[in-house]
Amino acid sequence: MATRLQRRSLLTVILRLALAGAAMITPTVKAQTETATFGVISQRSPTLTAQYWNPILRHVADKAGVPLVLKLARTGPEHAAMITRGEPDFIYSNHNFTPENDTAGYRVIARPAQAAISGQIIVLGSSQFKSLAQLQGKDVVFPSLAAFVGYYVPMDALLRQGIEVSPLFAGNQEGAIGQLKAGRAAAAAVNSEVIREYAKRDGLSYRVLWTSELYQNIPISVHPRIPKQRIEAVREAFVRMAEDPEGARILAASAELIKQAPPFGFVLASDADYENVRQFHRTTRVKGD
């Protein structure tokens, strides 16, 4: 029979092995369960944004094993400031391409499968205005000072054509459309995709006075502090979502909320796909906010 000393020594060995195993397992478990934030650009109301993104993020989190929580700011400038500070772990945004935010180090990993977007200056279908020149001295509403295709791109075009307008700001894309509908401005500067979807939901009649060149759809990017394993898991979950029956159902349901046209889902993307965005920021006549 084992002596008391032998039993005590055996227990000591077992305890040490258990502690060593826990020390090895803990970092892995923490990496798998630690919540990652997902910051989304301010385009629509917070409620509609959450209704669209939360089911998608729950599916991605389940497939990737990386809990994701939606992180929203009230306005475009507040969202841009979050990126400047490097707060969100993942982002759906194009504010990371500005010179001020480029140093935050976010790297593109995917983008929506939908077509490229452009900036547009629009008026109501019943408006008397038929050209940009007629907007000289008029009120034009923009989403925010931080909006890329909603402010930087159209304002740059107005400046290059010598058209001076009185800018108003609405907080987000759909807010700008709402102010145009309410008659508070002669025209609105918008994202081509957002106005198309809004008009389909609302039955809005509008006329496009100007359209910019095409830019790849707003990407999903990741902060450099995130471990490679987590990045790959999240990226794969986004890209494979449309192939999964449940994922495809979720994508279709979210798309129906905003009247988004197919194809649904996400595809692989990289920073090289957004070189014309960075080139624009290097040459624009619009001063940063």
State the burial class of residue 123 (Cβ atoms within 10 Å of its Cβ: 0-12, 13-18, 19+): buried
Residue identified by tokens 């959450």 is 50
Are the CB atoms for 159 and 183 separated by under 8 Å?
no
Predicted local confidence at residue 287, as pLDDT: 84
At residue 8 the predicted structure's pLDDT band, cuts being 50, 70 and 90, is: low
Record the tokens describing residue 98, joined without a space.
Answer: 């500005």
Per residue in 165-209, pLDDT (tens digit) is 999 999 999 999 999 999 999 999 999 999 999 999 999 999 999
DSSP strand pairing (139-142 vs 187-191): parallel
What pLDDT is stored for residue 9 in this prediction? Answer: 52
Q: Per-residue pLDDT tens for 97-114?
A: 999 898 999 999 999 999
Report yes or no: 170 and 182 within 8 Å, Cβ to Cβ. no
